């Protein structure tokens, strides 16, 4: 098995440790194997890959898509270092309104699986930060929603001063968590 699946304390949100093979040439790792992930309990049909490139100080998020176009994501940092944030927006969830954060870089062996029902964002700590997302649903602009990154109720610690962020106007226009449109219900 080429993956070690680690529970985060948030139902469905998983850290995935890959096995990296390093030598004098560089490294090799298997970033995706449907068979191995399925055997580990993560059985999803990823149908779209997205790549984002960001310079140091860029904050993207907090993004999600409403049902029926919600997306689960498998995220890998190909270059650079980020603070990754996933906010549980599933009503009735034991972790509703709480966030999970993790620093991930291209130098480590970590990936993160973010299931449907989470808003997602990240802050880039390095120039030329490149992230690959595998998604199990297509991008749908009419279903896209977001939550403001500095929501006072969420109290997210981005590990960077708010004054240092480079943020898109669209992301700055997102509503507070309590006002964001949301059609996710947690089911045990």
Would you state the structure tokens that stand for residue 150, as one six-digit string?
């500095």
Catalytic residue among 24, 63, 139, 162: 63
- Cβ atoms of 3 and 17 within 8 Å: the answer is yes
Is 186 known to be catalytic? no
3-state secondary structure of 140: coil
Is 143 known to be catalytic? no
Strands in 73-79's sheet, in edge-to-edge order, are 3-7, 14-18, 110-114, 73-79, 129-135, 48-54
Catalytic residue among 64, 133, 139, 143: 133
184: nearest Cα among 134, 145, 136, 141: 145
Active site amino acids = 63, 133
């Amino acid at each position: 098995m080429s993956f070690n699946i680690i529970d985060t304390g948030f139902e469905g949100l998983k850290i995935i440790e890959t096995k990296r093979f390093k030598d004098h040439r560089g490294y090799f790792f298997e970033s995706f194997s449907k068979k191995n992930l399925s055997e580990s309990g993560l059985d999803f049909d990823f149908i779209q890959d997205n790549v984002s490139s960001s310079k140091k100080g860029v904050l993207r998020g907090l993004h999600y898509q409403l049902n029926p176009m919600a997306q689960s994501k498998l995220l890998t940092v190909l270059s650079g270092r980020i603070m990754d944030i996933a906010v549980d927006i599933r009503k009735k969830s034991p972790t509703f309104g709480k966030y999970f954060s993790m620093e991930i870089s291209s130098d480590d062996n970590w990936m993160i699986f973010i299931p449907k029902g989470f808003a997602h964002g990240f802050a880039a700590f390095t120039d030329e930060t490149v992230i690959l997302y595998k998604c199990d649903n297509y991008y749908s602009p009419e279903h896209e929603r977001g939550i403001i990154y500095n929501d006072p109720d969420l109290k997210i610690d981005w590990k960077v001063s708010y004054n240092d962020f480079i943020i898109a106007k669209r992301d700055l226009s997102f509503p507070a968590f309590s006002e964001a449109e949301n059609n996710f219900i947690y089911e045990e």
